[in-house]
């Protein structure tokens, strides 16, 4: 049986860029994500777009996950405190 090597492993997708992201690029990345709607759109592009640096892509996915967790937490608090204020009005 023939051993497989990365060259003939059947992976037809191009390798992602895994070079370190420069400080100036991180500066502009964080600047863009600070702009409310633009930041969310750019996070989606960096997370799920093709041809992006794998480090920036992973960071964008983690940031989107944190946004979902914090949003879920705030929704839960809003429901709990909203129901307590509604029930307090019955006295």
User: What percentage of the chain has pLDDT greater than the value 90?
Assistant: 62
Residue spans per domain, the chain? 22-88
pLDDT at 12: 58
Q: How far apart are the first and last CA of the chain?
A: 80
Question: Distance between CA 76 and CA 82 in Å, rounded?
Answer: 10
pLDDT at 91: 60
Question: Distance between CA 40 and CA 42 in Å, rounded?
Answer: 5
- pLDDT by residue (tens digit) across 41-72? 999 999 999 989 999 999 999 999 999 999 99
Instruction: With a cut of 80, say whether residue 11 has pLDDT above it.
Output: no
Question: Distance between CA 8 and CA 3 in Å, rounded?
Answer: 10
Contacts of 49 by beta carbon, 8 Å cutoff, 6+ apart: 57
């Amino acid at each position: 049986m023939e051993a497989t090597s990365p060259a003939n492993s059947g992976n037809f997708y191009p390798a992602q860029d895994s070079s370190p992201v420069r400080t100036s690029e991180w500066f502009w990345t964080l600047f863009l994500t600070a702009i409310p709607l633009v930041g969310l759109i750019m996070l989606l592009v960096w997370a799920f777009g093709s041809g992006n640096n794998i480090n920036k892509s992973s960071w964008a996915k983690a940031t989107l996950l944190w946004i979902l967790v914090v949003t879920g937490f705030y929704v839960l608090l809003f429901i709990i405190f909203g129901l307590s204020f509604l029930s307090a009005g019955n006295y």
